[in-house]
Structure 1
Amino acid sequence: MEHQYDRRKLEQEFDNLPEASPIADIDPFKGDIIAMVGALALDYLELGLEDTLLDIGTGRGRWAVAASPYCKKVIGIDISRRMLEDARINVASSGVENVEFFRGSFEDPCEETDVFRQNVNKVVAIYSLHHLTDPMKKEAVSGLAEMLVRPGRIVIGDIMWFDDPGKHKDAWDKVYFDDNETDHPASISFMREVFEASGASEIEILQVHPLVGLISATFL
């Protein structure tokens, strides 16, 4: 069933997410498929100490904190105020000083801070882009590519269809796909087209599961 994007409903979903939910976990090495994809994404970013990383859909900040020792600065944005509060607590308890969190989204990354002035050259999104409809994905990636300092890279680790999802219904829970009003995964062919249209110089695709994968797009 096809659903429309509803930001308010998405905000409410994450504002009310149980602390024990694996989607809101703060442990980047938990061992589920989100942790696996997140770890791969950090590797594909190839972070350097002069890099500024934008983490979109940062949640409670687990990937922002995990990336912080390997780059100059991390900016995490999220639409959920509750997740951002938890992320700031996570950073404080971790003792890192180069991570900041702001309210923002794919459709409006500059809601609280002008990320266009932050010299962002690396972008990561773990299990967040699939909440956008396909037209919104295309617009969001195009905007990020325009913002990105060259040479730069965007890495997406998320639900994406490498096969008919109907053939893998027994795995939906494993990959945290609910087919509800806030999930809008796309096919891998569409995702490739999105990054090609955004001007990516090089695109790498990694299938992690028939329903989950990683895209690394380099912009020169």
Structure 2
Amino acid sequence: MDLKKDVQKQFGKSAESYVNSTIHKDGKDLLKLLEMSSINGEEKLLDVATGGGHTANAFAPYVKKVTAVDLTPEMLLAAEKFIKGNGHQNVDFVQGDAENLPFPDEAFDIVACRIAPHHFPNINQFISEVYRVLKTDGQLLLDDNVVPEDDEFDQFYNTIEKWRDYSHFRAWKKSEWLRLLELAGFEIIEWHRFEKTFHFEPWCNRMKITITEKEKLAQYMKGASEEIKAKFRVVIEEGQIISFQGEAVVLKAMKR
């Protein structure tokens, strides 16, 4: 699928910037994922779409084994350098597709996936694969950007994300996540909403978009309705977009 090639292309050239991205490495959402998990130290954990490796790195000291999987080889190399640099020796790195995981049924006690599913073109297939590789009573720890329930707000956020990053597929509504997971056989145990402030310049620069496209994107955001600008807390100073606010959901679900 072309979108998956786009993902590899985008993240291949942005691997190091994701390892060093403040929003990815320092998020309170990562601490919440750890806090929500039930761990006794014997678990095998799969980190799907590991990206810069921050989730795998955070869980490595607390579980028996971590397997970090990612579609993009450059990302895996950057994650491995980061995680091994922190002294963790219990992490394996595997190239693989979140919608076609290269692991047997019921291989893991925990599956984590953080700030990635908005890149997956078939979210149902991803959920099905997670369910398959989890043991019964296994935990799914999911964290991703979401959109408000209002369709106009949904369209605005997904438009600017796709504009900045052509490998973006869709940020889903909170209600869509809850529905899809329950229909797949998961029970939602706990969930939290996080507000996320995006600083416009580093947000754009992480994806290496051109100055021309950045200016067009800024004009689009400045031209949005007052309701949209208020909802997303768009901060404009001296005609420049400084920041805006999105949201994420962090949840724990169990395979029943």
Instruction: Name the TM tier (shorter chain).
Output: 0.7 to 0.9
Aligned residue among 45, 68, 71 for 1:76:
68
Q: Secondary structure at the match of 1:141?
A: helix
Q: C-alpha separation between the residues in 2 aligned to 1:214 and 1:162?
A: 15
- Counterpart of 2:192? 206
Q: C-alpha separation between the residues in 2 aligned to 1:163 and 1:169?
A: 10
TM-aligned CA distance change 1:65 to 1:118, over 3 Å: farther
- Counterpart of 1:15? 12
CA deviations on 1:155-190 (whole Å, 9 max, x unpaired) are 1111112444854999x6xxxx62343221111111
Is the Cα contact below 8 Å between 1:28 and 1:62 reproduced in 2? no
Aligned residue among 116, 119, 128 for 2:107:
119
Q: C-alpha separation between the residues in 2 aligned to 1:204 and 1:137?
A: 20
TM-aligned CA distance change 1:40 to 1:5, over 3 Å: farther
Q: Secondary structure at the match of 2:60?
A: helix
Q: C-alpha separation between the residues in 1 aligned to 2:148 and 2:96?
A: 29
| Deviation larger for 72-81 or 153-162 | 153-162
TM-aligned CA distance change 1:30 to 1:63, over 3 Å: closer
Aligned residue among 52, 76, 89 for 1:97:
89
Q: C-alpha separation between the residues in 2 aligned to 1:188 and 1:46?
A: 23
- Counterpart of 2:254? 218
TM-aligned CA distance change 1:193 to 1:29, over 3 Å: closer
- Counterpart of 2:219? none
Q: Secondary structure at the match of 1:116?
A: coil
Q: C-alpha separation between the residues in 2 aligned to 1:214 and 1:138?
A: 18
CA deviations on 1:117-175 (whole Å, 9 max, x unpaired) are 68301011110111123xx11121022112211221101111112444854999x6xxx
Aligned residue among 20, 37, 48 for 1:25:
20
Q: C-alpha separation between the residues in 1 aligned to 2:36 and 2:4?
A: 29
- Counterpart of 1:53? 45
Is the Cα contact below 8 Å between 2:112 and 2:140 reproduced in 1? yes
- Find runs of 4+ consecutive structure 1 residues off by over 6 angstroms: 26-29
Q: Secondary structure at the match of 1:122?
A: strand
| Deviation larger for 87-96 or 184-193 | 87-96
From the two aligned structures, give the one with the greater strand fraction.
2
What TM-score do you get using the length of structure 1 for normalisation? Answer: 0.80
Is the Cα contact below 8 Å between 2:19 and 2:53 reproduced in 1? no
Q: C-alpha separation between the residues in 1 aligned to 2:120 and 2:23?
A: 24
- Counterpart of 2:210? none
Gaps of 5+ in 1: none
Q: C-alpha separation between the residues in 2 aligned to 1:147 and 1:18?
A: 27
Aligned residue among 114, 120, 130 for 1:132:
120
What TM-score do you get using the length of structure 2 for normalisation? Answer: 0.70
Q: C-alpha separation between the residues in 2 aligned to 1:139 and 1:178?
A: 22
